[in-house]
Amino acid sequence: MNKDNFNRTIDNIHVPVEKLKAREKTAIFQAKKKRKIGRTTKQSILVACGLCISLLGSGFVSAGMAEALSNIPLIGPIYKDFRDIASDKIEHDQLTTVIDKQDSKNGLTMTVKEAAYDGSRLIVTVVYTGQKELSMKEEKSGFSYITINGQQEVKPAIGSIGQDDINSKTIIEHHQFTLSNYNEYGDKIEIAVHGEDLFGYEGKLKVAFPLEKIKGDVFEFYPEVTTQTVDGVYTLTADKVTFLPLSTRIDLKIDYPAEMDKNDTWPWFDFSVVDNNGQVYDKLKLQAGMAVGNYGHHMVLTLPPMDTIPKSFTLKPSHTNNEGFNEEIKELVVPLNKSK
């Protein structure tokens, strides 16, 4: 199947957006409840990716689509249909790098198909094929992870690994990360995808490859504007806004009483964002997480990438108070005029 036929196959797929939104709300709630006691082991969950990937195993992948997935690059067309936060930009500007490297052991082959990196977000798509059926049972699924520059497993501000079967012998896996700090790994990185005892097969797999940051303009703004809760307990500061090829990144600083660090009771804030043109970013158009290393004090918001930089963003934060009610916080207008 050629690429044009593949795209037509994808275009015919119906994506139940309302169901996605409903599942997103449930997943967000569950993710907030999964904070672990040790701050160094906590990770935020990127909801949108998991939702999109789970659809691939829901019984609507045709034989033609399965053939296409095994023969051509994956990210662009698939991410558009599954509402990835950078899907339009990825496909229009062809931002992914084709990798097509593989490792095999005991009848299982792991192939890294494509990857993309802009200094803030990292996307890697992997396909597993087996000589016999692949098991998705939890006790046999094994585990996979990614390392950068030979260091330990990536611990991002926002991250998701999703797996679903295309057919009985083929599984697709997506890794998506928003890193804790922009450009913390530099312009050229070494990626390694690791797998161990996957899908009922024994053995370790590893595919390593170099990856360069997407070339393109990056615009950084330092508004340093602040808002507080009504009681003055929490302070939120918009430290930095960065416009990148794969996302628009907003770094927030959160100040709260020191005892909340000791007993790990810091609050989780929900956000919606509106630009000066009235465009609203929420639900599947906004992802949020906490940066590792300064957990609870450094929050990262990820919006879609933008060709035109707005004059300002208005952040609308809220959080659930001790009585379980959603408490809105004064809006924070973030001017985009202090650049470096």
- Which amino acid type is present at position 282? D
CA 118, 334, 43, 201 torsion: positive or negative?
negative
Q: Report how far residue 288's alpha carbon sits from residue 300's, in angstroms, rounded to the nearest whole number.
A: 6
pLDDT at position 260 is 80
Please answer whether residues 178 and 158 qualify as being in contact, where contact means their C-beta atoms are separated by less than 8 angstroms: yes
pLDDT at position 339 is 65
- List all residues 6 or more positions away from 325 whose beta carbon is below 8 Å from its beta carbon: none
Tens of pLDDT along 156-173?
A: 999 887 777 788 999 888
312's tokens: 């300002």
More confident residue, 328 or 191: 191
pLDDT at position 252 is 95
Q: What percent of the chain has pLDDT over 90?
A: 44
Strands of 118-184, DSSP E: 121-130, 143-148, 158-167, 170-178
pLDDT at position 176 is 87
Q: Classify domain 219-335 at the CATH class level.
A: mainly beta
Range from 57-61, 109-113, 252-256 carrying the lowest mean pLDDT? 57-61
Tell me the CA end-to-end span of the chain in Å, nearest whole number: 47
Q: Report how far residue 255's alpha carbon sits from residue 233's, in angstroms, rounded to the nearest whole number.
A: 8
Q: What percent of the chain has pLDDT over 70?
A: 72
pLDDT at position 72 is 39
Tens of pLDDT along 2-61?
A: 434 433 333 443 444 443 443 343 333 333 333 332 332 233 333 333 333 333 333 333
Tens of pLDDT along 178-204?
A: 999 999 999 999 999 999 999 999 999
Location of each CATH 2.60.40.1630 domain in the chain: 3-212
Q: Report how far residue 292's alpha carbon sits from residue 39's, in angstroms, rounded to the nearest whole number.
A: 8
Residue 142 scores a pLDDT above 90: no
More confident residue, 305 or 47: 305
Location of each CATH 2.60.40.1640 domain in the chain: 219-335
pLDDT at position 337 is 84
pLDDT band with cut points at 50, 70 and 90 for residue 78: low
pLDDT at position 262 is 75
Of 23-37, 210-224, 252-266, the range with the highest mean pLDDT is 210-224
Tell me how crowded residue 153 is: count the other CB atoms within 10 A of its CB. 9
pLDDT at position 18 is 42
pLDDT band with cut points at 50, 70 and 90 for residue 258: confident
| Paired residues of 18 in beta bridges | none
pLDDT at position 84 is 60
Residue 77 scores a pLDDT above 80: no
Residue 155 scores a pLDDT above 80: yes
Tell me how crowded residue 247 is: count the other CB atoms within 10 A of its CB. 26
Q: What is the CATH number of domain 3-212?
A: 2.60.40.1630
pLDDT at position 135 is 85
pLDDT at position 69 is 44
pLDDT at position 87 is 65
pLDDT at position 233 is 81
Helix (H, G, I), strand (E, B) or coil at 197: coil
Main-chain dihedrals φ then ψ at residue 297, nearest 5 degrees:
-105, -20
Residue 277 scores a pLDDT above 80: yes
